Amino acid sequence: MPWLSKLLNKLFNLRENSEGEVVKPFLDHMEDLRWTLIKMISTLAAGMTLAFFFRQPLLAVMTEPLKVVSPNPTDILILTHPADSIMISLTLAFYAGITLTLPFLLFFVLEFVLPALTRQEKKWLLPGIAGGFALFLGGVLACYYLVMPQTLHWLHADSLSLKLKPTWIAREYFSFVTRMCLGFGLLGELPAVMTVLAALGFVSHAWLIKTRAYAIVVILILAMIIAPTPDPMTFLMLGVPVIIFYEICIWVVWLIERRRAKKASQLE
C-alpha cells in the first residue's frame, strides 16, 4: 500500500526532527511503533475488561435517554438474535474502554510521535492531554443530556406520525447512542488539539485565521455526517459549539504566541 508507506515515512521524519540529529533506521522506527501499538492495545483491553464487569450499570445509563419517550425502555427495545446480549455488552465495553483510557492512548501516541520533547514542551503536553480529555467528556455529556433525548424524541414522534409503532433493535440502539456520544466527544477535543499544536509550534495564529473558513466548512460537514437525523436542532447543537471552540482556539493561540514573543524579547 503506497499511501501507508508514504504516511509512515512522514511520521518517521517528524520523529527524527524531534530527536535532533539522531536518525534511526526504518526498522527501529517500526519496532517503536510495534511497542506503542502493544501498549495502546493492552491499555484499551484492560479498560474494556473493567467496563465489561459493569455492563448492567452501563446498560442502565445508555437507556436513560429513552425515558423521554417511554418510562420503561424495555417496551421499545427488542433482541433479535440469541447472542445480542453479548454483542451489546461488548459494544458498551468497547466504547466505555475508549473513554476510560483515552488520556493514556493520547499520551502513548504523542510519546511515539515526539519522543524527545523538551521540558517546556512537556509542560504544555500534559495539561493539553488533561484539557483534551475534559473537553472530550464535555462533548460526551452534552450529547447524552442535550442531544440524545431530543433526537430520540424526534425519531419516536416521526414514527408515530407515520402511524408506525416504534420498536427498535437493542443492538442497533446502543451502537447508535455510543457512536453519537463518541463523535461529539471527539469533535469537542478540537480546541485542545489546536492549542497543543500551537504550543509545540506546529500551527500559528495567522494560519488559523487564514484557514478559518475552510475549518468551519469541515466542522459543518463532520457535524452533518455524525448527526443521525435531518433535524436542524441536532445539527446546530453539534456544529455550533465546535465552531465557537475553534474561535476560542484562535485567541488562545494568539495569547500563546504573544507570551512566547514576550519571553524571547526579554532574553535578547
Q: Give the model confidence (pLDDT) of 2-40 as tens digits.
A: 555 655 565 556 555 555 445 566 566 677 778 888 998
DSSP bridge partners of 77: 168
242 assigned to some structural domain: no
133 assigned to some structural domain: yes
214 assigned to some structural domain: no
Query: 34 lies in which domain range?
Result: 2-189
Percent of the chain whose predicted confidence (pLDDT) is above 90: 5
Contact 139, 179 (CB under 8 A): no
Q: How many domains does the chain have?
A: 1
Q: Give the model confidence (pLDDT) of 45-61 as tens digits.
A: 999 999 999 988 988 89
203 assigned to some structural domain: no
Using CA atoms, how far residue 171 sits from 42, 59, 98, in Å, is: 26, 11, 19
Among 44, 141, 143, CA closest to 96: 44
Q: How far apart are CA 78 and CA 67, in angstroms?
A: 16
9 assigned to some structural domain: yes
Q: Give the model confidence (pLDDT) of 73-107 as tens digits.
A: 778 888 888 888 898 898 899 989 988 898 888 88
User: Cβ–Cβ contacts within 10 Å for residue 184, how many?
Assistant: 27
262 assigned to some structural domain: no
